[in-house]
Amino acid sequence: MFDAFSTMSIDAEMDASSPENFMRVLSVVVAVFIGVGVAGLDTAHAESDDPEESASSSGETEETSEDGDEADESLSQEEMQSLLETIDERQSSASDFKARIYMDEREEDDEGMTYEAMVYRRDEAGKMVIQFTEPKSERGKGYLRIEDNLFLYDPNVGTWERRTDRERIGGTSSRRRDFDASNLADTYEPSYVGQETLGQYDVHHLKLEAEERDEVAYPILEIWVGVESKHLLKIQEFALSGRLIRTTYYPKWQKVEDDKSGEDVYFPKEIRVYDEVEEGNRTVILFRSVTLTSLSDSIFTKAWVESKSR
């Protein structure tokens, strides 16, 4: 079996202060990503940096238990709700969140474009900033989220525009939720599809339907969560009509201790997004230099975002 997830993993010892190194690594990741495709990722396995956090291996056949009989285990409504709460809690930090991200956007028959940006989050206040630093054509562009409101600042015209959660961040296949804290438990009602295998790992397959459909980007989600690791490994987002919009994979997770709460906070080291509407479009996102620390209140303001464009 082709191990796409391991092939595309990044050397943890790489110097995070060298953008040139990350650009070279990102180009390798993208090359494999494009060659593997969705089918290859579905037959690959997802992993965590901590072996104790990795899900256990299983057979290749979906909907089967270890002895080959059909799986008859399912999660109760209470257990599904608890699983969603665990996913949300593990990705939320009491301290402010800061990370450098690299994105490679590819369109069909296109050489693509690489982006670099900074992400700042204050989960307890529902605030987030995405500030683009590269390429030159995107430098100074910024997104500001304050609770349910998302704004885009375009330095070329010096104006702010309100955006929706369906907004393509920086023109890529990414969306706001790819960089923000998780909020599945309070937003969606889960139902159990079955216990399956994703590559070498046992996963719970859940269908989520939004309780307030007008208030979310995608009212229907399907998620695959590691049975042992409880990591979100794959998610598909659907329009109300049932049309599949995006397929996203989370092959590698990492944890950082939050000094403020004393808890471990998990974040995806890599995200791979397939646009299911504009076929052939795909985005690789790498999270690097993640820190949990106190940030200035001024960062989460329009004035600060504007100042970074000057």
Cis peptide before 135 (omega within 30 of 0): yes
- How far is residue 204's CA from residue 224's CA, in Å, rounded to a whole number? 6
- How far is residue 35's CA from residue 88's CA, in Å, rounded to a whole number? 32
Would you say 119 and 294 are in contact if contact means Cβ atoms under 8 Å apart? no
Q: pLDDT tens digits, the chain, 310 residues: what are they?
A: 223 333 333 333 334 444 455 445 455 444 444 444 444 445 443 444 443 343 333 333 244 334 334 445 789 999 999 999 999 999 999 999 999 999 999 987 777 899 999 999 999 999 999 999 999 999 999 999 999 899 999 999 999 999 988 888 988 889 998 999 899 999 999 999 999 999 988 999 999 999 888 778 899 999 999 999 999 999 999 999 999 999 999 999 999 999 899 999 999 999 999 999 988 899 999 999 999 999 999 999 999 999 998 7
- How far is residue 308's CA from residue 263's CA, in Å, rounded to a whole number? 32
Structural domains of the chain, ranges and CATH numbers in brackets: 4-307 (2.50.20.10)
The gap from C-alpha 138 to its chain's centroid, in whole angstroms, comes to 21
Stated pTM of the model: 0.79
- 72-98 residues labelled b (16+ CB within 10 A) or e (exposed): eeebeeeebbebbeebbebbbbebbbb
| Token code pair at residue 148 | 């349910």
